[in-house]
């Protein structure tokens, strides 16, 4: 469904209270052989696989799957810095704090991934409000 929307030129997004790489959001944003391959799911979510980027905006937990295993906060088994790839190769803004969000200046062609270190968020209402605001900004 998300791939079809993207193919038809729509802006797409995922907002979750779990890890963004969890099995449920992954069904919309990745193609892997097993739900526990969250490091690979993170790679797919930024667009580094044959279908390319399908998600423009991602809010949720699981930052650790985007950080290299040399980082203290990493969950990855390899040293790939998916966060850096998302920013440098695929044009994402990768935010992990309120201050970074407040300083964000978006144009229609920029993409956002807001992730925090926790696997499940207790701030879903705030995330939904932020999603609505960014959605409105991205239509400008």
Whether the Cβ atoms of residue 53 and residue 87 lie closer than 8 Å to each other: no
Confidence (pLDDT) at 136: 63
Confidence (pLDDT) at 48: 93
Q: What is the mean pLDDT of residues 38-51?
A: 94
* C-alpha–C-alpha distance, residues 11 and 5, integer Å: 8
Whether the Cβ atoms of residue 93 and residue 46 lie closer than 8 Å to each other: no
Structural domain count of the chain: 1
Is 95 or 84 the better-scoring residue by pLDDT? 84
CATH code of the domain in which 25 resides: 3.40.720.10
- For 74, the domain range is 2-138
Confidence (pLDDT) at 134: 66
In the predicted model, is pLDDT for residue 18 greater than 70? yes
Q: Is the dihedral of CA 15, 23, 89, 83 positive or negative?
A: positive
């Amino acid at each position: 469904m998300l791939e079809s929307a993207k193919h038809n030129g729509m802006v797409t997004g995922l907002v979750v209270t779990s890890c963004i790489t969890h099995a449920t959001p992954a069904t919309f944003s990745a193609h892997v052989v097993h739900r526990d391959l969250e490091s690979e799911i993170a790679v797919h979510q930024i667009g580094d696989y044959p279908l390319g980027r399908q998600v423009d905006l991602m809010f949720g937990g699981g930052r650790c799957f985007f950080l290299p295993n040399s980082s203290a906060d990493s969950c990855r088994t390899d040293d790939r810095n998916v966060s850096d790839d998302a920013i440098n190769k695929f044009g994402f803004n990768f935010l992990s704090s309120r201050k970074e969000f407040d300083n964000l200046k978006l144009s229609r062609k920029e993409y956002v991934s807001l992730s925090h270190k926790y696997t499940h968020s207790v701030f879903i209402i705030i995330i939904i409000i932020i999603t609505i605001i960014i959605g409105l900004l991205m239509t400008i």
